[in-house]
């Protein structure tokens, strides 16, 4: 069978307008295949509403109503029912993991089709869930024809993937550099507001593994003309606000809260360096690094064991990689990058363009699907 008429179904937890890293990848795959190859890659997902719906764009989206969430896992009986109904209408099932609900649906109602697993990360935080779920995880890995990892590091380091090395294919996440809307007016406002300052920008949910407290403390050791802007919302907002005022850094570190999407490009363009201070392997890749690099911004990120983060940002080339959980090292990294910003900026863009575009990701996937004939 020619791979052009191969029918593919992506199975993921959610799908935009519910946004997260995995949802964005799934969207870019379906959208990218249609624009590059006029092929429809349909999607089966849970919706954050309680009712089922079906959408037809250039591809179909089957959205299934949610009952609730247990251990970060959406629960939906209609998802299992819909899977049972459509599972044999496709040649390839492209499964985004972690997603215990989907694996259990496939276990209850197996398919004869080829299964491709997109392994975004191990189940890291939910130890109880992993204990209960492990037999199912082993089962699905055995069933899979191929397992996609987003960085070579992850494939080698992930304990779950050790027995399946021969099935692994590395396809880095790619993004569309022209997707973010320009906002010239807001850009000029920001330039006026921060005139004469060096800007360090950081972005992410304000949660434990993002390591923002180390970035706040690093501000103490940065030159007086340097300002750190942190975008994002989350449970640590209050704690970080208190820390900033205790360290008397209210002029130097600013929590921006959630940044509206139409203002985001203005912050990337404004900054001199982007910082990803994450401290834990829950940060498996760090797509924000790609966003920064696509705007020609050098990156300071951390050398998280078992994570693709330090692979994405190449130390000494597209930026600097420092020890996680170390505010002195972060400050030193930021100072180094500010000094070499010109060269590093060009390199960052080159690295992005060579490895991490949406089209590159789609073409690599197209190649993989065609090998499954």
- Average pLDDT value for the chain: 93
For residues 112-136, average pLDDT:
82
Q: Is the pLDDT of residue 324 over 50?
A: yes
Does 110 share its domain with 203? no
Model pLDDT, residue 1 = 40
Does 197 share its domain with 145? no
CATH of the domain at 116: 3.40.50.2000
H or E stretch including 53?
strand 53-56
Share of the chain above pLDDT 90, in %: 82
DSSP 232: -
**Among 148-162, 219-233, 330-344, which is the least confidently predicted range?**
148-162
Does 127 share its domain with 199? no
Does 229 share its domain with 289? yes
For residues 164-176, average pLDDT:
96
What ranges in the chain are assigned the alpha helix state H?
A: 21-37, 77-86, 100-108, 127-143, 152-157, 184-193, 212-218, 237-246, 261-270, 287-294, 309-312, 327-339, 341-355, 358-371
Does 344 share its domain with 201? yes
Does 339 share its domain with 364? no
Range of the domain at 130: 3-175+358-371
Residue by residue, DSSP assigns 180-229 as SPP-HHHHHHHHHHTTT-EEEEEES--SGGG-HHHHHHHGGGS-TTEEEE
Does 198 share its domain with 53? no
Model pLDDT, residue 3 = 46
Q: Is the pLDDT of residue 125 over 80?
A: no
For residues 170-196, average pLDDT:
95
Q: Is the pLDDT of residue 4 over 80?
A: no
Model pLDDT, residue 134 = 86
Does 37 share its domain with 142? yes
For residues 138-157, average pLDDT:
94
Model pLDDT, residue 159 = 85
What's the domain count of the chain? Answer: 2
DSSP 309: H
Does 188 share its domain with 118? no
Does 271 share its domain with 366? no
Give the confidence band of 2 by pLDDT, cuts at 50, 70, 90: very low
Tens digits of per-residue pLDDT, 251-273? Answer: 999 999 999 999 999 999 999 99
The predicted model scores a pTM of 0.90
Tens digits of per-residue pLDDT, 205-246? Answer: 999 999 999 999 999 999 999 999 999 999 999 999 999 999
Does 170 share its domain with 254? no
Does 84 share its domain with 201? no
């Amino acid at each position: 069978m020619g791979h052009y008429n191969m029918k593919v179904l992506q199975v993921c937890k959610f799908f935009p307008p519910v946004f997260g890293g995995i949802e964005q990848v799934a969207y870019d795959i379906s959208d990218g295949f249609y624009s590059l190859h006029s092929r429809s890659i349909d999607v089966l997902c849970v919706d954050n509403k309680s009712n089922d719906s079906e959408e037809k764009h250039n591809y179909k989206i089957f959205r299934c109503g949610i009952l609730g969430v247990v251990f970060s896992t959406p629960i939906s009986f209609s998802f299992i029912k819909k899977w049972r109904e459509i599972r044999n209408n496709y040649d390839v099932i492209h499964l985004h993991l972690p997603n215990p609900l989907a694996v259990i649906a496939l276990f209850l109602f197996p398919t004869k089709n080829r299964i491709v697993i997109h392994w975004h990360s191990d189940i890291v935080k939910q130890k109880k869930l992993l204990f209960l779920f492990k037999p199912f995880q082993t089962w699905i890995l055995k069933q899979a024809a191929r397992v996609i990892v987003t960085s070579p590091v992850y494939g080698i380091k992930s304990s779950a993937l050790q027995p399946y090395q021969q099935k692994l294919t590395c396809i880095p996440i790619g993004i569309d550099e022209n997707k973010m809307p320009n906002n010239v007016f807001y850009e000029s406002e920001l330039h006026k507001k921060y005139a004469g300052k060096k800007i360090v920008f950081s972005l992410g949910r304000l949660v434990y593994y993002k390591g923002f407290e180390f970035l706040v403390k690093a501000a103490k050791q940065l030159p007086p003309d340097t300002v750190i802007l942190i975008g994002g919302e989350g449970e640590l907002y209050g704690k970080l606000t208190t820390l900033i005022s205790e360290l008397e850094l209210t002029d130097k570190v600013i929590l921006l809260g959630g940044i509206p999407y139409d203002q985001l490009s203005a912050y990337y363009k404004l900054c001199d360096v982007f910082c990803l201070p994450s401290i834990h392997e829950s940060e498996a890749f760090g797509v924000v690094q790609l966003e920064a690099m696509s705007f020609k911004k050098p990156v300071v990120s951390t050398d998280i064991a078992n994570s693709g983060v330090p692979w994405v940002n190449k130390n000494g080339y597209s930026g600097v990689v420092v020890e996680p959980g170390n505010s002195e090292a972060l400050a030193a990294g930021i100072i180094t990058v500010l000094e070499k910003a010109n060269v590093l900026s060009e390199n960052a863009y080159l690295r992005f363009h060579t490895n991490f575009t949406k089209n590159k990701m789609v073409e690599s996937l197209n190649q993989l699907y065609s090998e499954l004939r």
